[in-house]
Structure formats: C-alpha cells, structure tokens
Amino acid sequence: MSEDDAVIWQDVLEEILAGRGGALACPHCNHSPLKVDNTTELTKISCSGCEAFIQGRFGGLN
C-alpha cells in the first residue's frame, strides 16, 4: 500500500486493531460496514460501495 493509503485508512485500521471493526465506514465514500477478510498472509479491508480497499499485514490481525 502507498503512504497515502496508510494515512487515509489509518483510523479504520486503528479501530479494527482495537476490536471495533463492526461500525467502520469507508474513508472514501463513507459506506458502512466495510468488509474485512483475514487470511494467514494478509488482511484485506474493502468497501462494497466504491470498491476501495487496503490490504497488508497489520499488527495483531494476522
């Protein structure tokens, strides 16, 4: 992910890491809820509204 993405999604990531992922809204279009897919390798957080997503290895999720 780019540094811009990291900034845009930072609040969302922090909420998910804090265990409060259920009520999150997309930072691009404000669609809610976001879809969170955890695999052993990566976490992907995606929006079904505008199809924005971020994926990577985020501490504590994998």
Question: Residue 24 is encoded by which pair of tokens?
Answer: 């999150």
Residue closer to Zn ion by CB (options 31, 56) is 31
Helix, strand, coil share of the chain (percent; to 5): 25, 20, 55
Which residue in the set 5, 31, 46, 55 belongs to the binding site for Zn ion (CB under 5 A)?
31
Residue closer to Zn ion by CB (options 1, 50) is 50
Q: Say whether residue 26 binds Zn ion (CB under 5 A).
A: yes
Q: Say whether residue 25 binds Zn ion (CB under 5 A).
A: no
- CB 52 → Zn ion: shortest distance, Å? 5
Give CA separation, 54 vs 12, 24, 32, in Å.
Answer: 10, 14, 15
